[in-house]
Amino acid sequence: MSGSGTGRAPDDLFLKIIAGEVPATIVHADDLVVAFEDVDPQAPVHVLVVPRERHETVAALAAAAPATLARLVEVAQRIADERCGGHFRLVFNTGEDVGQSVFHVHGHVLGGRGFTWPPG
């Protein structure tokens, strides 16, 4: 499995959402990132922020397109400011063993309730 790449993976759910082929509740879209409601929310606020270009992991995105990663974090903060007073957890899963099921990097913006530490 490669760490980065902008080619379309035929089973990439997020590219299908970005293209409008799969319905989603879009809460933000710009030239670099798209944010949409998670279909299986784990908190009162649970929004996914994804880059338009496909990179499998957050490390791959940081190496290939640091400005896009910065934009992803900016959008996550804006969503948290609007929906949960700026208090949020931003989670990136990397690898199947820790729960990554779509291999297109995505940040989970989680908020609206208290969280414990350590997670998981």
Q: Which residues have a catalytic role annotated?
A: 106
Decide the pairing of beta strands 26-29 and 88-91. Answer: unpaired
Q: How far is it, in rounded angstroms, from Cα 54 to Cα 14?
A: 9
Identity (one letter) of the amino acid at 16? K
Place of tokens 């929310």: 41
DSSP strands (E only) in the chain: 26-29, 33-37, 45-51, 88-91, 107-111
Output DSSP code: residue 11.
T
